[in-house]
Chain A
Amino acid sequence: MPCQAGWVTPAGGAPAGTAAGQPQRFEDVYLQEFTSVFALAYAMSGSRWAAEDITQDAFVVAHRQWGRVGGYDDPGAWVRPVAANLAVSVVRRRLAEARALVRLAARTQQDRSYAALPEGDGDFWRAVRRLPRRQAQVVALVALGDLSTAEVAATLGCSQRMVQTHLQKARATLAQRLGLAAEGVDR
């Protein structure tokens, strides 16, 4: 299964569920899945504002096809790779950031300052974002979703072996860049 391009087909990440039952309500799925999708977008983009826009874009894409996506057992598994793809696209990320800047410029006093990630965690995600796209996606899904390689492979629509390869390379690179011991076994 091809897993090199850095882009995944959302359908590949969709669970085997079919539209046999009643489709779930978009609002319910949105509220349930928002945090995990946002976390993924935030980890991969490094910008809160870009992450917000990327998350919204991913849900907009899902909403357009809700007749099909809403019938899946886990529509969130369909949305996450869409967000991961949007986040690794430099052009999309820049567009999202630009839109966010425009939105921010319109805000006034109700603005508040948002917390940032702790220093060490911020360094870790910066190092992840410097990885090749697919490696970054694999690491983000593993770290955020606590997923096994099989689950990551199902989400990204590629083979477990490919996921293991990407994870192995990513771990080696990250360990070197962060000066950490690359211990641990691939799940």
Chain B
Amino acid sequence: VTLDERMRQAGESVRRYADTEVDPVAMLWRLRTRQRRRSRQTVAVAFAVLAGLVAAAVLVVRTPRQPEVLLGRVAATIALPQAPTPRVIGVADGLVWVDGGNATAIAVDPQTNRVARTTPCRRGRGWRRSSPGACGWSTTPPGR
């Protein structure tokens, strides 16, 4: 037997095997099933990824942003020349409200460490600020 004869014989053998042992129609049906399953899997994975992204976005948006709390050390020193005797009276709306002592309430943004707002209080002492309604009270008649 030569190599060519063996090659021809082996080729015929495999072709015969493929002809008799495998049903192309059944395989086509299986292929279609597989494609449908894969499509469903793709849709499910895409949906899961989308749902995860939406959930993450909602979490990020809804998580209240608290100012960084640094215990045991001074986080920042902010000069308030307009407040000779500053006194912190509360935290509201993400701002630190300071009684300036001269009929003013000063709001400091802890994110930037800068004065965000200055509100005059005619006879302002003992201010309290609600959160988040942006309303102010004082023990003396309201300043505004």
Give the one of A30, A36, A175 with max B CB within 10 A. A30
Is the C-beta of A92 less than 8 angstroms from some C-beta in chain B?
A: no
- On whether the beta carbons of A52 and B18 are closer than 8 Å, the reply is no
Bound CA span A30–B35, Å: 14
- On whether the beta carbons of A125 and B9 are closer than 8 Å, the reply is no
Range of interface residues on B (Cβ < 8 Å): 20 to 34
The prevalent SS among residues of B at the interface is helix
Q: What chain A residues lie within 8 Å of B24 (beta carbons)?
A: 30-31, 34-35
Q: Which of A36, A121, A175 is within 8 Å of B10, CB to CB?
A: A121
Range of interface residues on A (Cβ < 8 Å): 35 or more
Give the one of B17, B21, B35 with max A CB within 10 A. B17
Nearest-neighbor residue (CB-CB) of A118 within chain B:
B13
Per-residue interface assignment for chain A, residues 117 to 148, with 1 indicating a CB less than 8 Å from any chain B CB and 0 otherwise: 11011001100000000000001001110100
Per-residue interface assignment for chain A, residues 33 to 75, with 1 indicating a CB less than 8 Å from any chain B CB and 0 otherwise: 0111011001100001000100110011001000000000000
- On whether the beta carbons of A42 and B18 are closer than 8 Å, the reply is yes
Is the C-beta of B28 less than 8 angstroms from some C-beta in chain A?
A: yes
- On whether the beta carbons of B11 and A144 are closer than 8 Å, the reply is yes
The prevalent SS among residues of A at the interface is helix
- On whether the beta carbons of B15 and A55 are closer than 8 Å, the reply is no
Is the C-beta of B14 less than 8 angstroms from some C-beta in chain A?
A: yes
Is the C-beta of B34 less than 8 angstroms from some C-beta in chain A?
A: yes
Given known contacts A35-B24, A38-B18, A117-B17, A180 and B1 CB-to-CB distance under 8 angstroms: yes
- On whether the beta carbons of B3 and A171 are closer than 8 Å, the reply is yes
Binding site for B on A (CB under 8 A): 27, 30-31, 34-36, 38-39, 42-43, 48, 52, 55-56, 59-60, 63, 114-115, 117-118, 120-121, 124-125, 139, 142-144, 146, 171, 174-175, 178, 180-184
